Amino acid sequence: MTRLAVPKTYKLYIGGAFPRSESGRTYEVVAADGAFLANAAKASRKDARDAIVAARAAVAGWSGATAYNRGQVLYRIAELLEGRRAQFVAEIEEVESVSRAVASAQVDESIDRWVWYAGWADKFAQVAGNANPVAGPYFNISVPEPTGVVAIIAPQDSSLLGLVSAIAPALVAGNSVVVVASERFPLSAISLAEVLATSDVPKGVVNVLTGSPAEIAPWLASHSDVNAIDLVGAGALDWISLEVDAADTLKRVLRPESGPDAAAPALGRITAFTETKTVWHTKSLL
């Protein structure tokens, strides 16, 4: 008996749910040899707006959680990735046309990166903050706080590692995220969304859009309810125009990066999405 394959149509991940694109559009995801793999949703301007609304609604709860709790949530993502390791290896091997060893190394590094950032969740404030010396009977303390909603154009030449490397540091400090995944390699992004949906990450904290970064990025850069934008994967786009659009709405901007590991783990990628609040407090006279 001949069995027909059931090709999968991947959806977006917005507000903890998996909706189809508002436009109804999809595009074919193909292997390196041109073989059909799946259909992916092609996000529209309306989808980007819905993702921003969901991210904004999630900021208060996520940023209000304790740093320890956020670290535990991020570590739980690593645990779930470990449990679905074989699936991610197979997807990367197929879509990127790399050896199993290379795909395995990418998945392992992605898991390790979640763990690395999870460890910083309750520590980076001590490193990035400060008790400032002042002349007078006062305490003066500077503390990093989340900037809010962060839009991200993920690295386009990486299925999973680039995506994780861009998302994780924004989450550590309590920001919510709208990320545009790799257009050519979107399968791992939606599989990661399935992991997030079954983890302890609150709905709306991470929103994943697939489709054309060239189409979606201008709307994210110009949207007034986005507080920061990471253009790490926007090197092939007209990113200067995106930077200008972002400046019009006073966004914090990270420019595109290049290299085999464009978003390499660094404390600076966490603090890039924070704002420093300085508090004065009178010293007790007792």
Q: What is the pLDDT of residues 59-118, one digit of tens each?
A: 999 999 999 999 999 999 999 999 999 999 999 999 998 999 999 999 999 999 999 999
Query: Among candidates 268, 278, 229, 231, which has minimal Cα distance to 52?
Result: 229
Rg (CA), the chain: 20
List, as one string, the DSSP characters of 43-78.
--HHHHHHHHHHHHHHHHHHHHS-HHHHHHHHHHHH
Residue 151 inside a domain? The answer is yes
Residue 2 inside a domain? The answer is no
Residue 71 inside a domain? The answer is yes
- How many domains are there within the chain? 1
- Over residues 166-186, the mean pLDDT reads 97
Answer whether residue 121 shows pLDDT above 80.
Answer: yes
Range of the domain at 76: 9-282
Say how far residue 117 (Cα) sits from the centre of its chain: 13
CATH assignment at residue 126: 3.40.605.10
Residue 1 inside a domain? The answer is no
CB-based contacts of 225: which residues, under 8 Å, 6+ apart?
52, 53, 56, 149
3-state helix, strand, coil in the chain (%, to 5): 45, 20, 35
Q: Is the pTM of this model over 0.85?
A: yes
Residue 4 inside a domain? The answer is no
CA distance 166 to 68: 21
Answer whether residue 140 shows pLDDT above 90.
Answer: no
Q: What's the pLDDT at 286?
A: 47
CA 177, 37, 20: angle at the middle one, nearest 5? 45
Residue 191 inside a domain? The answer is yes
Residue 3 inside a domain? The answer is no
Q: What is the DSSP letter of 184?
A: S
Three-class SS of residue 203? coil
Residue 265 inside a domain? The answer is yes
* CB atoms near residue 30 (< 10 Å): 13
pLDDT band at 196; cut points 50, 70, 90: very high
- Over residues 171-183, the mean pLDDT reads 97
pLDDT in tens, 240-284: 999 999 999 999 999 998 766 778 899 999 999 999 988 888 876
Q: What's the pLDDT at 33?
A: 85
Q: What's the pLDDT at 41?
A: 97
- Over residues 23-41, the mean pLDDT reads 92
